[in-house]
Amino acid sequence: MTEQMTPSVEELARVDELTARFPEAVTPDTRKGYEGYIVKPENLIEVATYIRDEMGYDFLANLCGVDYLPEGKMEVVYNVFRTTGGRGLTFKVQTPREAASVPSLVPVYPGADFQERETWDLLGIRFEGHPDLRRILMWEGFNGHPLRKDWREPYFEEEGKPFKSRWPDGHVYRIEDKNPFANNVAYPEGFDPDQWEPENDAKLYESLRRSVKELYSDLDTEIIMVNMGPQHPSTHGVFRIAVALDGETVLALKPVMGYLHRNHEKIGERNTFLQNMPFTDRLDYLSSMSNNFGYALAVEKLMGIKPPERAEYLRVIMAELTRISNHIFAIGMFLNDLGAYFTPALYAIEERELILDIFEAVSGSRMMCNYFRFGGVARDLPEGVYDKIYKLVYDRLPRRIDELDLYLTNNEIVRSRTEGVGVLTPEQAIAFSEAGPVLRASGVPYDIRRADPYSIYDRFDFDVAVRYHGDTYDRYLIRIDEMRQSIRILQQAVRDLPEGPIQEGKPQYQVRVPAGEAYGRVEGPKGELGYYVVSNGKPNPWRYHVRAPSFINLNAYETMCVGNKIADVVAILGSIDIVLGETDR
């Protein structure tokens, strides 16, 4: 908050630069609690190109829409950063709610692709010039755009929780009984099921065919379309891949998702701020502590509070343990994908269980920790857990990571299956908004813990892991490297853990969040995990958006796969390391 109130010299200079260059098109956002600039839609591409090329903000981290229903307009928010580090820049573009439409930024930032499709799907904002504007999470033909503020779900009760009918009197009823179909469904008036033609994926196959043509226009071979998933053992959950094949070679590939779309954002906008915390656990369900971290940071930014020292250390310890448990599991599953059926995974899960024991001891749950609170953490370490963590990070984990490294890294089959496969150049990685291990394995040393330090990461001595080939093998190696760096951070944090309170002020059930917007981000195990939260001073967030690394990292999936064999598609997906709870949200 203090950062927002007193802009640095550099920031003031920046204000001048952008508004001076585009006096007509760019105006600073002067709403209270907001920052950044409002760009006119007709100048958007020009301004964005300037921001990328002249000002150096080459990384489009987050793109999301906000429905400002009372003002009758939609807003698209872009958060851009420099891959050389530092604070970001926010710019927005506004459009009327009816026939909402803004120019697509895919030509400037190719990483906008999936995020624009998502915004179209959920908010109904058209992106003119987008090469492939299809729905991404819901199916074609679904009625309406669910995140619009006047769109109501079939089980709608009230705009925000706690629901008056339940609290404080405690009436309980089944919401099914209020729905005419006794089910979670709603249909438009006059809808006739007999006349309905169900979706047949025509648009998907058309898009797939289109990409094939662009790539291999001179070849005249029979192209086979193959669908993998959503029920497939190697897709890490309910993920579907539509592939166009020539023999075994991949010509084009389209990820199809939404099979686990659980409406986090719609539910999040009905929830109170604190009620969202357990829902963040279920985004990337392998690393719930990191998810908590990002959300807590975003809301704390709005509230202008900071947790006490001990809580900061506990947060870092938990986040880094999460990173190790995630990476070790990712490596195990990756080896599964390569065909080493379950043996490496068994070793990996063994270590993960030890970390889960610690989580269970501090938070009460193995996976869904719900441990962070605004301005602190929920509980202090119970007796004996400190020693457990100490032994784990000083003794057992470093040994076991070395062991994995020893068994796998120079294994001939691993190397021949992964080296030179699925290469992503640094330029491509930045352009596609890849984040986390995928970006760093391509030779871009961009780690938010170092580039834009949050919490107390500036106190620790660690290196940003980076590898330079950008292939599947490097994406495996980088996870080993990162686990070693996490061990270093953990050893320092455990050594220095101070005594003291774990919560700023009294623990509160209903927090007061001043009006405004905030984008909080952490370096999650899968990449940049960001939360864009808009508050209007009410108990519920007006907008709650998750910048999910698993989702955005898939932008480059097609580029990595094209030209490789179908078996590598599986290996490459394993090396990106997605979790469907986060991809689909």
Partner 1 sequence: MSDMKQENINSTRFDIPPELQNQVAITTLDKIYNWGRRSSVWPLMFGLACCAMEMICTAASRYDLARFGMEIMRPSPRQADLMIVSGTVTKKMIPQIVRLYNQMPEPKYVLAMGACASGGGPFKEGYNVVSGVDRYIPVDVYVPGCPPTPQALLHGLITLQRKIDAQSIKDARWYRKEEIAEIPIPIYGPDIIDPRQIEIIKQQTRRQPGANGSRRSRSAGIVGR
Q: Which is nearer to partner 1, 348 or 561 (CB)?
A: 348
Binding flag, residue 98, partner 1 (CB under 8 A): no
Point out which span in 207-215, 341-349, 436-444, 554-562 binds partner 1 (CB under 8 A).
341-349
Angle at 432 between CA 428 and CA 434, to 5 degrees: 95
285 binds partner 1 (CB under 8 A): yes
The strand pairing partners of 531, in sequence order, are 520, 546
Which token pair is 80?
């851009």
Q: Which of 53, 72, 84, 178 is in the footprint of partner 1 by CB under 8 A?
A: 178
User: Does residue 301 touch partner 1 according to CB under 8 A?
Assistant: no
**Taking a C-beta distance cutoff of 8 angstroms, is the pair 293, 372 a contact?**
yes
Distance between CA atoms of residues 135 and 145, nearest Å: 10
Applying CB under 8 A, which part among 70-78, 226-234, 298-306, 394-402 lies near partner 1? 226-234
DSSP string, 299-358: HHHHHT----HHHHHHHHHHHHHHHHHHHHHHHHHHHHHHT--SHHHHHHHHHHHHHHHH
Other beta carbons within 10 angstroms of residue 233's beta carbon come to 11
Which span (196-204, 391-399, 483-491, 513-521) binds partner 1, by CB under 8 A? 196-204
Among 14, 126, 282, 488, binds partner 1 (CB under 8 A): 282
Q: Number of residues interacting with partner 1: please give it, by CB under 8 A.
A: 67
The residues in 465-504 that bind partner 1, with binding defined as CB under 8 A, are: none
Return the residue of 87, 149, 166, 262 that touches partner 1, per CB under 8 A. Answer: 262
In this chain, which stretch among 37-45, 142-150, 458-466, 487-495 interacts with partner 1, using CB under 8 A?
142-150
Does residue 388 interact with partner 1 by CB under 8 A?
no
Give the whole-angstrom CA distance, residue 464 versus residue 447: 7
d(CA 294, CA 296): 5
Closer to partner 1 by Cβ: residue 81 or 359? 359
| Segment interacting with partner 1, rule: CB under 8 A, options 5-13, 259-267, 300-308, 536-544 | 259-267
266 binds partner 1 (CB under 8 A): yes
Closest to partner 1 by CB, 24 vs 150, is 150
Least distance between partner 1 and beta carbon 127 (Å) = 22
Binding mask 368-387 for partner 1 (x = CB under 8 A): x-------------------
Is 162 near partner 1 (CB under 8 A)? no
Distance between the two ends of the chain, CA-based, in angstroms?
28
Question: What's the rounded Cα separation, in Å, for the pair 475 and 418?
Answer: 9
H helix or E strand, kind and range, residue 251: strand 249-256
- Span interacting with partner 1, options 212-220, 232-240, 294-302, 502-510, rule CB under 8 A: 232-240
Binding letters toward partner 1, positions 562-581, x by CB under 8 A: ------------------xx
- Residue (264 or 547) nearer to partner 1, CB: 264
| Nearer to partner 1 among residue 139 and residue 468 (C-beta) | 139
- Cβ nearer to partner 1, comparing 185 with 219: 185
Task: Name beta bridge partners: 66.
Answer: 75
Q: What's the angle, vertex CA 438, arms to CA 434 and CA 440, rounded to 5? A: 100
Tokens at 131, concatenated = 């090469």
Strand boundaries in 334-442, DSSP class E? 372-373, 376-377
Q: Give me the amino acid identity at 520.
A: G
Which string of DSSP letters, residue by residue, matches 42-58?
Answer: GGHHHHHHHHHHTS---
The distance of closest approach from Cβ of residue 517 to partner 1 in the complex, given in angstroms and rounded to an integer, is 24
CB of 1 or CB of 267, closer to partner 1? 267
Tell me which of 170, 180, 384, 498 binds partner 1, using CB under 8 A. Answer: 180
Among 42, 54, 156, 537, binds partner 1 (CB under 8 A): 156
- 343 contacts partner 1 (rule: CB under 8 A): no
69 binds partner 1 (CB under 8 A): no
Between CA 436 and CA 12, with CA 103 as vertex, the angle to 5 degrees is: 65
User: How far apart, in whole angstroms, are the C-alpha atoms of residue 552 and residue 380?
Assistant: 35
* Contact present, 284 and 291 (Cβ < 8 Å): yes
**Alpha-carbon span 232 to 234, nearest angstrom:** 6
Contact between 70 and partner 1 per CB under 8 A: no
Per rule CB under 8 A, is residue 157 in the interface with partner 1? yes
Applying CB under 8 A, among 84, 165, 183, 508 the residue interacting with partner 1 is 183
Site for partner 1 contains 146 (CB under 8 A): yes
Q: What is the DSSP letter of 471?
A: S
Q: Contacting partner 1 (CB under 8 A), which of 41, 160, 230, 453?
A: 230
Backbone angles phi, psi at 28, to 5 degrees: -65, 145
Q: Is 3 in the site for partner 1 (CB under 8 A)?
A: no
* Min CB(118)–partner 1 separation in Å: 13
Distance set, CA 351 to CA 109, 325, 328, 490 (Å)? 39, 7, 8, 16
Cβ–Cβ < 8 Å for 328, 404: yes
Binding flag, residue 189, partner 1 (CB under 8 A): yes
Structure tokens at 344: 């490496």
Judge whether 411 and 480 are in contact, CB under 8 Å: no
Nearest to 45 by CA among 134, 130, 132: 130
Q: Where along the sequence are the contacts to partner 1 (CB under 8 A)?
A: 137-139, 141-143, 146, 150-157, 175-176, 178-181, 183-194, 196, 198-199, 230-233, 237-238, 258-263, 266-267, 270, 278-279, 282, 285-286, 345-346, 349-350, 352-353, 366-368, 580-581
